Structure 1
Amino acid sequence: MLVDESLAALRRLDWRITPESRAAHRALFTPLHETHGYRAPVVHRDLAYGDDARQRLDVHTAPGAAGRPVLVFLHGGGFTAGDKTLPGTPFYDNVGGWATGNDVVAVTMTYRLAPEHPWPSGAQDVAAAVAWIREHIAGHGGDPDRIVLMGHSAGGTHVAGYLAGQAGTAATGVIAAVLLSAFFDPAPVQHQAPMRAYFGEDPDRYPMQSAVAGLVGSDVPLLVAVAERDLPDCHGQAVALLDAMLAHRASMPLFVTIPDHTHLSEIQSLGLDDEAFGAALARFIRRA
């Protein structure tokens, strides 16, 4: 867990996403990760799962690993930016380091960006990556029949779209999914320019593009999570999804509110503040 001084600094961070807030988050967590150590013992970089330059992934594993569950992580970035590694920072190699420390093989992946690649390109890229992983991950110590997807923010939206069938394929080999501060229905958040860049400007299409009905009908176990000091729209999207599931299903997905954290810090702190989210994530993967 974070020591008192770091936890106090976390609580002072601005929850809003601004250049200043991003810089403050990086300034807090980068040296903590560097002191603690954050990389997996073995990382295979920039493996192609498609023809586009953005369709690349990294595999994080350990020597001698065999038959381990596989955690596939999709970064955020407002649909128009972001990457599987951010130069000069531990992000998101920290996801790979956390995974290998919990006897899990991790895959961190990039995907094509809006507006050049609008909806449903994200779900299609998830499908392409899953197909690559099922074919190749055994050679890196992973079990192709035990894939857990995890997406943060826009990445979570792409995971949700894939589970909802928006890629045109079934979620084969995926045993569970983690939706971390994701967006499921574009209609309530159409005021955000990044949403319109990905989903388009036509509100008449938004009901068809929503992943809510597909998630309600999916039998893939879910962990839905938001940060305590998350973006208000993320709180609203999570509540709406849980409300829809409560109305149509006999059981609810697991839901976690990550204490003290912001939209950025909830994933940047993985491997440092596992009491807040990492422990629940590890337990969810073991259950799956």
Structure 2
Amino acid sequence: MDTPEELHLRFAETESPVETHAIRNWRGVSVQFSRLKLPTEYEFQWDGNCHYLAHHDLILADGEMEVLGEKPIAAKDLRDKMTYVPKGQTINGWAAPADRMNAFTVVSFDPAAMEEELAAEFNGPNPVPHIYFQDVELGATMRKLARMMGDERKPASKAYAETLGLTAALEMFRLSHEATSQIFTAGRLTAAQIRLLHDYIDQNLAQDIGLDELASLCGLTRFHFARAFKASFGEPPYQYLMRKRIELARQLLLTTKHPVAEIAAATGFNGASQFGRAFRDLVGQSPLAFRRNA
């Protein structure tokens, strides 16, 4: 996906009542998060260039949604409900939200850009729309995405965010094809792949390493890589990267007099505050306290 897909909103009031609006984009997958701070009526539209998956944290006083060519659907309590519409179909609708903090998360994905992952994982008929449905596993992934996208103080790593977006898309295909689909169980990485990853990660800890580039090193799809990595290392790629960064930070705090901000940049964190939170989560104390008590 060269540019992010977006659900278009048109508000009745001239001042847009969007408190938080964020979009992140990776190969084949885009994630949009919007949090609405005022109960202002709005219209929405989606042009079906990609598959559309939305998770709603909404309560409406009124409203309806129409998938082009289908009967409009009205609903009010949409908390933890999801909507999936396949590529090539258009969504139109309007909503009058209740007086509460309402939000939604949209994952759009392009199977052409994700062809390896999808071809390896799924077989079955063409997908059909699913309106206002619930699923435990997919819902948990979408809620994680919402928390990640809505937290402006603690931006997630590229590998973690990309993994969640890709997982949401693949879980939706699992639901769409589960009558005939069987998920392949990935094996472990080879010793050569593990050595390659060790070297690459150690040399690039100051960079925001993504799942796509790590998978490419091993010649695997992102989905197969993530599962094979966990089977080989005992933890997901983003957790491994975080642990390696904190290990390097501990060494630098003990062996240098560099300021915390410089150590944060040298270990791939977006500023001292993000570094401090991650360090406390794993070590149990702040970087300065660790250095002082060593």
- After TM superposition, the score normalised by the length of structure 2 is 0.24
Higher RCO, 1 vs 2 (CA within 8 Å, ≥6 residues apart)? 1
- After TM superposition, the score normalised by the length of structure 1 is 0.24
Q: Which protein is bigger by CA-based radius of gyration? A: 2
